[in-house]
A = this chain, B = another copy of it.
């Protein structure tokens, strides 16, 4: 695991593989390496293990193994979900304005009519606007369960309620056009309940890399009767939806990680609520009132491990470098966007000014963080912010 000589606060970008996960994966690299489709006993044994772990993974979201398509990660899962649009002419889809690039780009490239729904200052989707934008050609609504920059938890069950009403209305008119709800739950798995029936989703993207599992593996839950199209063609694995030799070791890792996450959802939430409170209070206190940090989102509807914060007028990138000198690692937003120097569309959508966006940091906590780390991080951050203010204002 991690050394204690640095403080990592960017768990929303990547998580280290849990040692129990790594141990579970190990035998499938070189002992049980057989191709699960081969005809001899040890290969059939590997097939059984693969299906068993797929079932275990499915159980963590209240589904069955057969409901899952195993992919190479969340991006592929999301793109696969959007193929549902292919079967309908003039289909439109609805996404929120704060979706991750993978949803935005999949929507843009796989649908001619993408309707983006605004959010309030906390990142909560405008349900009325969502409802109003649905018409008879709307096939898919895709809203992340928890936003990757703010941690905002979206009201999926209320969206599902709206969808149910639309379905009833369509049925009453003998219109059999389906309307599906897909959600990217990448950020949420270790922090909130993600049972598909309770969320009310028809499709759900889950991601190993954000839940202390290996990178390069994800899954898409697909409800009964939903017809998707494969993105790649070949040997016909995963019921023809995802060809390619099964990545047994990584699936074993993902399922193990998901199981651990599910078992600790409540404990995790309590831990991070405490740490987040400590972080916020220590930061405010140590800033001595020279600047009011603006915590983004509404903690009541936010993943407990998120504490995104804005220092209006400061340069977040400078803060990141100064924090890095102290071995404290935070980011500005989505890693893939940040690396391209793009302005956050999420922070724009919640109504932040350019100056506020430029001064915003994403703090996301995880397993290795404890009270001491979080307190130290907040103290150092306050110190650096004060020095920056002095440098600017003299």
- Residue from B18, B106, B244, B335 within 8 A of A72 (CB atoms): B244
- Residue from B75, B237, B324, B340 within 8 A of A243 (CB atoms): B75
- A57 → chain B, closest Cβ, in Å? 15
Given A30-B17, A215-B249, A236-B340, also A243-B105 (CB < 8 A): yes
Q: Which residues of B contact A337 (CB under 8 A)?
A: 235
B16 touching A31 by the CB < 8 A rule? yes
Residue of B nearest to A15 (CB): B33
- A236 → chain B, closest Cβ, in Å? 6
Given A22-B29, A29-B17, A106-B233, also A37-B75 (CB < 8 A): no
Q: Which residues of B contact A29 (CB under 8 A)?
A: 16-17, 22, 214
List A residues 25-58 near B (Cβ within 8 Å): 29-31, 33-43
Q: Which residues of B contact A100 (CB under 8 A)?
A: 234-235
Measured in the bound complex, the distance between the Cα atoms of B106 and A13 in whole Å is 33
Q: Is A2 an interface residue (CB 8 A)?
A: yes
- Residue from B18, B43, B339 within 8 A of A39 (CB atoms): B339
A234 touching B78 by the CB < 8 A rule? yes
Q: Which residues of B contact A209 (CB under 8 A)?
A: 245
Q: Describe A's contact surface by its main secondary structure.
A: loop
A13 touching B42 by the CB < 8 A rule? no
Q: Is A247 an interface residue (CB 8 A)?
A: yes
Measured in the bound complex, the distance between the Cα atoms of B13 and A34 in whole Å is 8
- A43 → chain B, closest Cβ, in Å? 7
B-contact bits for A78-101, CB 8 A (1 contact / 0 none): 110000000000000000000011
B245 touching A73 by the CB < 8 A rule? yes
- Residue from B320, B336, B340 within 8 A of A40 (CB atoms): B320
- A316 → chain B, closest Cβ, in Å? 10
Number of interface residues of A (CB under 8 A): 77
A30 touching B1 by the CB < 8 A rule? yes
Q: Is A195 an interface residue (CB 8 A)?
A: no
B-contact bits for A99-116, CB 8 A (1 contact / 0 none): 011100110111000000
Measured in the bound complex, the distance between the Cα atoms of B232 and A109 in whole Å is 9
Q: Which residues of B contact A39 (CB under 8 A)?
A: 317, 320, 331-332, 335, 338-339
B336 touching A245 by the CB < 8 A rule? yes
Measured in the bound complex, the distance between the Cα atoms of B346 and A258 in whole Å is 41
Q: Is A74 an interface residue (CB 8 A)?
A: yes
Q: Which residues of B contact A250 (CB under 8 A)?
A: 215-216
Q: Is A334 an interface residue (CB 8 A)?
A: yes
Measured in the bound complex, the distance between the Cα atoms of B332 and A91 in whole Å is 45
B42 touching A336 by the CB < 8 A rule? no
Measured in the bound complex, the distance between the Cα atoms of B1 and A338 in whole Å is 42
B30 touching A234 by the CB < 8 A rule? no
Q: Which residues of B contact A377 (CB under 8 A)?
A: none
B42 touching A6 by the CB < 8 A rule? yes
Given A105-B243, A245-B209, also A16-B38 (CB < 8 A): no
12 examples of A-B residue contacts, CB within 8 angstroms: A10-B38, A13-B37, A22-B29, A39-B320, A43-B329, A76-B244, A79-B232, A101-B243, A105-B233, A105-B236, A235-B337, A245-B335
Which residues of A are in contact with B by a Cβ distance under 8 Å? Answer: 1-2, 6, 10, 13-19, 22, 29-31, 33-43, 72-76, 78-79, 100-102, 105-106, 108-110, 209, 214-217, 230-237, 243-250, 317, 320, 323-324, 329-332, 334-340
